[in-house]
């Protein structure tokens, strides 16, 4: 004789999961982000709260070694130059474990920032505590936040990593411009293209 109780319990469990819905463990569009404090290439600790005049932020998880990060490097610089004066500075964060990729060590970050004359903060997520909160999984992976630290856009910087001249949709730029008009970014989510973030070995 088959026992109906285990089957009933299974169905109740399935119903409970479906009825409550899936809640991701990282920020999605509409979530408010927590502030953080990470070391900049100049040695200072930097947080969102340091930007007292900001109207929002362009947060980019990027690194030294990734070919995609290198392809987007100048475009990230240009985003800062275009929007920092309008209240949307770039904050770049290197999330990679330098034990896995030596080129992404803090010392190499300092060298890269000087070589390329980064006009924005380039922070080191050395303990890898920040990027998981945002759900970042690629370099580069971009986020646009408003002044209340509400995430308003997540994803790619634009639609053509290889050829800047062939870009048709500038996702981050369009998101910031929408917020400057007090409008909702559309799209507010795209798939990030790049190298996988190198997590610490467990």
- Estimate to the nearest angstrom the gap between the alpha carbon of 94 and the chain centroid: 10
Question: Rounded to an integer, what distance in angstroms lies between the CA atom of residue 1 and that of residue 77?
Answer: 70
| Run of H or E including 15 | helix 4-20
Q: Which of the residue ranges 16-25, 137-146, 178-187 would you say has the lowest mean pLDDT?
A: 16-25
pLDDT band at 46 (very low <50, low <70, confident <90, very high): very high
Q: Is the pLDDT of residue 95 over 80?
A: yes
pLDDT band at 22 (very low <50, low <70, confident <90, very high): low
For residue 188, the number of C-alpha atoms closer than 13 Å in the C-beta half-sphere is 14
pLDDT-above-90 percentage for the chain: 87
pLDDT band at 8 (very low <50, low <70, confident <90, very high): very low
Question: Rounded to an integer, what distance in angstroms lies between the CA atom of residue 141 and that of residue 69?
Answer: 9
Pairing of strands 56-61, 90-94: parallel
Under a CB-based contact definition with an 8 Å cutoff, are residues 145 and 59 in contact?
yes
- pTM, entire model: 0.89
Tokens 């080191």 belong to which residue? 124
Instruction: Tell me which of 3.50.50.60, 3.40.30.10, 2.60.120.380, 2.40.50.180 is the CATH number of domain 26-196.
Output: 3.40.30.10
């Amino acid at each position: 004789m088959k026992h109906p109780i285990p089957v009933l319990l299974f169905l109740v469990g399935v119903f409970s999961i479906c009825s409550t819905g899936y809640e991701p463990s990282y920020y999605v569009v509409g979530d408010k982000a927590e502030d953080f404090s990470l070391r900049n290439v100049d040695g200072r600790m930097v947080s969102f709260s340091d930007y007292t005049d900001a109207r929002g932020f362009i947060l980019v998880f990027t690194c030294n070694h990734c070919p995609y990060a290198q392809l987007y490097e100048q475009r990230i610089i240009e985003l800062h130059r275009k929007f920092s004066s309008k209240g949307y500075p770039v904050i770049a964060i290197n999330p990679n474990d330098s034990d896995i990729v030596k080129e992404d060590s803090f010392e190499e970050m300092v060298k890269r920032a000087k070589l390329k004359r980064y006009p924005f903060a380039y922070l080191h997520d050395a303990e890898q505590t920040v990027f998981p909160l945002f759900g970042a999984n690629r370099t580069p992976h971009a986020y646009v936040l408003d002044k209340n630290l509400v995430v308003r856009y997540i994803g790619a910087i634009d639609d053509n990593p290889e050829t800047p001249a062939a870009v048709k949709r500038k996702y981050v730029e369009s998101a910031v411009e929408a917020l400057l008009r007090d409008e909702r970014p559309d799209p507010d989510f795209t798939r990030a293209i790049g190298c996988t973030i190198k997590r610490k070995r467990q």
